[in-house]
Amino acid sequence: SQTIHQWPATLVQPVGSPLSLECTVEGTSNPNLYWYRQAAGRGLQLLFYSVGIGQISSEVPQNLSASRPQDRQFILSSKKLLLSDSGFYLCASRQGRGYTFGSGTRLTVV
Amino acid sequence: AQSVTQPDIHITVSEGASLELRCNYSYGATPYLFWYVQSPGQGLQLLLKYFSGDTLVQGIKGFEAEFKRSQSSFNLRKPSVHWSDAAEYFCAVARGIQGAQKLVFGQGTRLTINP
């Protein structure tokens, strides 16, 4: 079965600073990978998904970017964080019809 | 556009009472449907899923859900809730063709349990 590792679990960053959140997947190969964001009191919004190395699709325009340098590695980045980037970020992996989620990163931009 | 609607933002029930959380979807084809639970500050745990076949699906922790195509619904039920069921519940539908499939979530329903 798939296991997703996300780090860090919590992060406090000043406005204008860069961001890099990493997600790695174990127990599968060639998965589809996803980044979701959950803003306070809101549902889960799909930010990016990837069907393979170097292939990134963006769902909504925003201040963030994603990269997939290796098959089981998915990175969420920003050059300059905004207050509105605060939220709970979840990485997910899909193999076949099953989805697995990481434990998330709580990002607070101050 | 495909979407998922959870009409109830917040529900409060007493411990031991029955529970039903509503979910309606808008999707042209036969959907793949999911219910997830999220405890505070945690990731998502899959409760159950529907792909095809029997429209009444059994999940973990005593939950079940029924797919009703005529009503475009996939409501989650539990006959008797426990205090530990207090959490946020998300309904989701998988949309898109196989290679580019993705999960679209409802806004979530927060469940509070009264002792």
For the segment B4-35, what is each residue's pLDDT rounded down to a tens digit? 999 999 999 999 999 999 999 987 677 899 99
The pairing of beta strand B24-26 with beta strand B87-95: unpaired
Tell me how many degrees the CA angle B8-B3-B19 measures, rounded to the nearest 5: 30
| Chain B: closest CA distance from residue A86 (Å) | 14
Mean pLDDT of A3-17: 95
Asked if the model's pLDDT at residue B55 lies above 80, the reply is yes
Report pLDDT for A4.
Answer: 95
Question: B88 vs A95, which has greater pLDDT?
Answer: B88
Residue A78: name the closest of A16, A8, A12, A4 by CA.
A16
A16 compared with A60, residue with greater pLDDT: A16
Q: Which residues of A touch B105 (CB under 8 A)?
A: 36, 43-45
Q: Does B99 touch chain A (CB under 8 A)?
A: yes
Query: Is residue A1 pLDDT above 90, yes or no?
Result: no
Q: How big is chain B, counted in residues?
A: 115
The pLDDT value given to residue A110: 97
pLDDT tens readout for residues B57-114: 999 999 999 999 999 999 999 999 999 999 999 999 987 766 668 899 999 999 999 9
DSSP labels, B10-36: EEEEETTS-EEE--EEE-SSPPEEEEE
Q: What is the pLDDT of residue B98?
A: 64
Measured between beta carbons, the chain A residues lying within 8 angstroms of B94 are: 97, 99
Look up residue A82 and give its two tokens: 């905004």
pLDDT for B1:
58
Q: List B residues 7-46 in contact with A (Cβ-Cβ < 8 A).
A: 32, 34, 36, 41-44, 46
Q: How far is A44 from chain B (nearest CA, A)?
A: 6
Integer CA distances (angstroms), A67 to A54, A103, B45, in order = 7, 20, 26
CB A93 within 8 A of CB A99: yes
Q: How confident is the model over A20-73, as pLDDT tens digits?
A: 999 999 998 899 999 999 987 678 999 999 999 999 999 887 899 999 999 999
Q: Report pLDDT for B40.
A: 82
A104 touches chain B (CB under 8 A): yes
